[in-house]
Homo-oligomer: A and B are copies of this chain.
Amino acid sequence: MAEETAIRKDENVVYIGKKSVMCYVLAVITQFNSGATEVAIKARGKVISRAVDVAEIVRNRFMPDAKIKSIDIKTEELTSEDGSMAKVSAMEITLTK
């Protein structure tokens, strides 16, 4: 698994990328099972909808006692290699159990 495509795991954070939804569901559940009391699901751009899928599947299918602590949206500015700026929407869903 190349480093770029690995699921990034910071402290209690799951970053959503282009893998299948269930990969990220598993990552969230693993963090809770490792003792985390809250897990943040972060996504940017088109995969924001996948972040919602992940949160909903975790809550409805695997952890019915998990709650949505907060949902935040914001705009992030990305600088590409040629120096141009692009704005992209970002979302963070925090689950607690």
Among B53, B56, B60, B89, the residue within 8 A (CB) of A52 is: B89
Please name the residue on chain B nearest to A45 by beta carbon. B49
Residues 25-51 of A, flagged 1 when their CB comes within 8 A of B and 0 if not, give: 000000000000000000001111100
Residues 75-94 of A, flagged 1 when their CB comes within 8 A of B and 0 if not, give: 10000000000000101010
Number of copies: 2
B49 touches A75 (CB 8 A): no
Among B56, B74, B89, the residue within 8 A (CB) of A75 is: B56
Counting CB contacts under 8 A, is A7 at the interface?
Answer: no
Query: Number of residues in A with C-beta < 8 Å to the partner?
Result: 19
Q: Which residues of A contact B (CB under 8 A)?
A: 45-49, 52-53, 55-56, 60, 68, 71-75, 89, 91, 93
